[in-house]
Amino acid sequence: MKMSHVGIMVGDMDKAVEFYTKALGLKTVMGKSAVVEEKESAIGAMCIAVFGEGFKGFNIAHLVTSDGVGFELFEMIDREEKHNVDFTKIGIFHYCLETDDFEGVIKRVEQYGGKARMDTMRYHPEDENRPYKMVYLEDPFGNLFELYSHSYSETYSSEYE
Cα first-last separation, the chain: 27
pLDDT at site 127: 85
Query: Which of 115, 113, 111, 112 minimizes the C-alpha distance to 147?
Result: 115
Residue with the larger pLDDT of the pair 2 and 100 = 100
pLDDT at site 22: 98
pLDDT at site 70: 95
With 80 as the cut, is the pLDDT of residue 76 above it?
yes
pLDDT at site 53: 82
With 80 as the cut, is the pLDDT of residue 24 above it?
yes
Q: What is the CATH number of domain 93-161?
A: 3.10.180.10
- Domain 1-89: state its class: alpha beta
Q: pLDDT tens digit string along 111-138?
A: 999 999 999 998 888 888 888 999 999 9
Q: Helix (H, G, I), strand (E, B), or coil: what is residue 156?
A: helix
CB 138 within 8 A of CB 148: no
Q: In angstroms, how far is CA 91 from the centroid of its own chain? A: 14
pLDDT at site 47: 83
Residue 54's pLDDT band (cuts 50, 70, 90): confident
Q: Where are the domains of the chain?
A: 1-89, 93-161
Residues 138-157: b if buried by 16+ CB within 10 A, e if exposed: bbbbebebebbbbeeeebee
With 60 as the cut, is the pLDDT of residue 81 above it?
no
With 80 as the cut, is the pLDDT of residue 10 above it?
yes
Model pTM?
A: 0.82
Burial of 89 from C-beta contacts in 10 A (0-12 / 13-18 / 19+): exposed
